Amino acid sequence: MILKNKKGVIMGVANQFSIATGIAKAAAEQGAEIVYSHLPDTTGKMLKRVSRAVDGLSPKGIHPCDVTSDESIQTFFKQAANDLGDIDFVVHSIAFGDTKDIKCPTVECSRAGFAQAMDISCYSYIAVCNEAQKYMPNGGSTISLSYYGGEKVVPGYNMMGICKSALEMTTRYLSHDLGPKKIRANCISAGPIKSLSASAISDFSKMIDQYEQNAPLRRGVTQDDVGQVASFLLSDLSSSITGETLHVDAGYHVMGYFDSEA
């Protein structure tokens, strides 16, 4: 139980296929007490979806948060601290880009679409950490989710690759700023996993096939794989790791050439 007595916030559960749901399952299994966010809406549909996804994990609270609004982030953390007391960890598993700006060649993506994708997929990690640190007097761990398309050109990932590159650098700067408060910032760079967000990426199934054929471990990765590594990064076992991007990708990123005969 590496997260026994740890209290944290997981942002980014949309449904049972979300990477955040895999993290939630693993963290709850390791003893964490968790508050979740859901996208605000007037119908209650989002709350219902998140509740269903984390059903059985004994959530300490589920509250609305739209990361494009500082006020919404502030209210969310106030509610989370009300449920939990001091906070030990934060999971930011959030990204958004308008499909038309992802599906078009990067050179044609719109100014407004780029700004929105950067705001939700990158800046929001800064805004979330800035608010969260007020409730982390004992230090703690924060993580965000990246993808290999932020390091190398992955056709189809397009504009989102630029957002992930910025997110990984953001993580390093956050580690510097938050380190003196014993708050860590790390990224998990996950291999492709079928989810709601992934449906915006062209040729996504081809990407998964590539991993199964060419990754050193000859397999893709799952929400559960990411959940296990996230639990480690959220726990004290990783207390000397910060500013890192850790690949959970069956080793795919080490390859420079694919030998089709292998």
Ligand X SMILES: NC(=O)c1ccc[n+]([C@@H]2O[C@H](COP(=O)([O-])OP(=O)(O)OC[C@H]3O[C@@H](n4cnc5c(N)ncnc54)[C@H](O)[C@@H]3O)[C@@H](O)[C@H]2O)c1
257 has catalytic annotation: no
CB of 247 to ligand X, least distance (A): 10
Residue 3: closest CA among 36, 30, 43, 37: 30
- Is residue 65 at the binding interface for ligand X, with CB under 6 A as the rule? yes
Element (H, E) at 187: strand 183-190
Applying CB under 6 A, does 47 fall inside the site for ligand X?
Answer: no
Measured from the CB of residue 93, what is the shortest distance to ligand X in angstroms? 4
The answer to the question of residue 195 lying near ligand X (CB under 6 A) is: yes
Is 34 among the residues that bind ligand X (CB under 6 A)?
Answer: no
Spatial contact of 10 and 23, defined as CB atoms under 8 Å apart? yes
Q: Does 19 bind ligand X (CB under 6 A)?
A: yes
CA dist 59 → 47, 173, 240 (Å): 12, 31, 29
Calpha distance 151→172 (Å, rounded)? 15
Does residue number 68 form part of the binding site for ligand X (CB under 6 A)? yes
145 counts as binding ligand X under rule CB under 6 A: yes
User: Of 147, 148, 211, 252, which is the active-site residue?
Assistant: 147
Check residue 12 for interaction with ligand X (CB under 6 A). yes
Q: How far apart are CA 153 and CA 162, in angstroms?
A: 9
211 as an active site residue: the answer is: no
Answer whether 234's CB lies under 8 Å from 183's CB: no
State the Cα–Cα distance between residues 61 and 50, nearest whole angstrom.
Answer: 11
Stretch that binds ligand X, among 1-9, 145-153, 169-177, 252-260 (CB under 6 A): 145-153
- Tell me how far apart the alpha carbons of residues 215 and 254 are, in angstroms, rounded to a whole number: 8
Name which of 14 and 54 has its Cβ closer to ligand X. 14
Indicate if the alpha-carbon torsion angle 250, 251, 257, 259 is positive or negative: negative
Contact between 35 and ligand X (CB under 6 A)? no
Task: Quote the CA–CA distance of 220 and 102 in Å, as a whole number.
Answer: 23
Minimum Å distance from CB 110 to ligand X? 18
Smallest separation, CB 184 to ligand X (Å): 18
**Smallest gap from residue 181 Cβ to ligand X (A):** 24
Asked if 252 is part of the footprint of ligand X (rule: CB under 6 A), the reply reads: no
Structural contact between residues 39 and 62, judged by C-beta atoms closer than 8 angstroms: no
Cα separation, 204 vs 247, in Å, equals: 19
Cβ proximity to ligand X: between 117 and 183 the closer is: 117
Interface with ligand X, residue 91, by CB under 6 A: no
Q: Which residues bind ligand X (CB under 6 A)?
A: 12-14, 18-20, 39, 65-68, 93-96, 120, 145-147, 190, 192-193, 195-198
